[in-house]
């Protein structure tokens, strides 16, 4: 049976050391890993954040709804750029958007998305959920439930889920396995509560891993025991 996964990438990951915008070397490296995943007969849909262009929640003087819609547009820019890099790797790729921007992307529907995956196309899922107040982590969980994915892979800048921020505390301890309930009960900040609850209720596993280590996207997609497994 073909494995179907949702990969969640932050916008910051596409910026690399530049911190803002899109780093061409980074996005080309990710596109090569995407090709390797597809060559392993895995169906892949990717949710990308927009933080390399816009951090709406930090815009305290702006209306939150307006800020969140700008963030959705930022995810669209990232998906278009990533799709271009993936196509240059010789793969078929489709950008489907929760926002109606049909001059530049398709409009997300479950049926079209599943059909594209079954045809071997890579999906880029833009525009978040199409609603304010929801993170792109929650988008990944929602799309995973809709598309009946086997697992959500969340790429981060650390090795997995820790009991506290490892970038601030030298004694932070990484978990190898957790449950969704533990994420919620211990308020572990790796994903938001909406995402954790939706994955739990949909019985979909989550693997959190370090994207900065080359080859980790492919390793996670192939089921290697890296990072933290939440199920």
pLDDT in tens, 160-192: 999 988 888 999 999 999 999 999 999 998 899
- pLDDT bin (cut points 50, 70, 90) of residue 56 is low
Phi, psi of 45 (to 5 degrees): -120, 140
- pLDDT bin (cut points 50, 70, 90) of residue 216 is very high
- pLDDT bin (cut points 50, 70, 90) of residue 69 is very high
Enumerate the domain spans of the chain.
Answer: 3-230
Residue 57 has pLDDT above 70, yes or no: no
Residue 228 to residue 55: CA distance in whole angstroms: 26
The CATH architecture of the domain made up of 3-230 is 3-Layer(aba) Sandwich (3.40)
Token look-up 């490892």 returns 166
| CB contact burial 14-41 (16+ within 10 A = b; e otherwise) | bbbeeeeebbeebbeebbebbbbbbeee
């Amino acid at each position: 049976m073909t494995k179907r996964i949702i990969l969640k990438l932050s916008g910051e990951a596409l910026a690399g050391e530049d911190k803002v915008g899109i780093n061409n070397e980074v996005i080309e490296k990710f596109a090569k890993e995407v090709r390797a995943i597809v060559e392993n007969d895995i169906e892949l849909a990717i949710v990308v954040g927009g933080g390399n262009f816009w951090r709406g929640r930090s815009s305290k003087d702006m209306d939150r709804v307006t800020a969140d819609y700008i963030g959705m547009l930022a995810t669209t820019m990232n998906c278009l750029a990533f799709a271009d890099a993936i196509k240059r790797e010789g793969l078929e790729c489709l950008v489907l958007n929760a926002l109606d921007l049909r001059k530049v992307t398709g409009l997300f529907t479950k049926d079209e998305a599943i059909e594209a995956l079954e045809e071997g196309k890579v999906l880029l899922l833009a525009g978040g959920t199409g609603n304010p107040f929801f993170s792109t982590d929650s988008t990944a969980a929602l799309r995973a439930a809709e598309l009946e994915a086997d697992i959500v892979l969340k790429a981060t800048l650390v090795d997995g889920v820790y009991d506290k921020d490892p970038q601030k505390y030298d004694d932070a301890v990484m978990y190898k396995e957790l449950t969704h309930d533990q994420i919620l009960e211990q308020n572990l900040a790796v994903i938001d509560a909406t995402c954790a609850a939706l994955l739990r209720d949909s019985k979909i596993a989550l693997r959190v891993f370090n994207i900065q280590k080359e080859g980790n996207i492919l390793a996670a997609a192939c089921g290697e025991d890296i990072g933290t497994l939440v199920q």
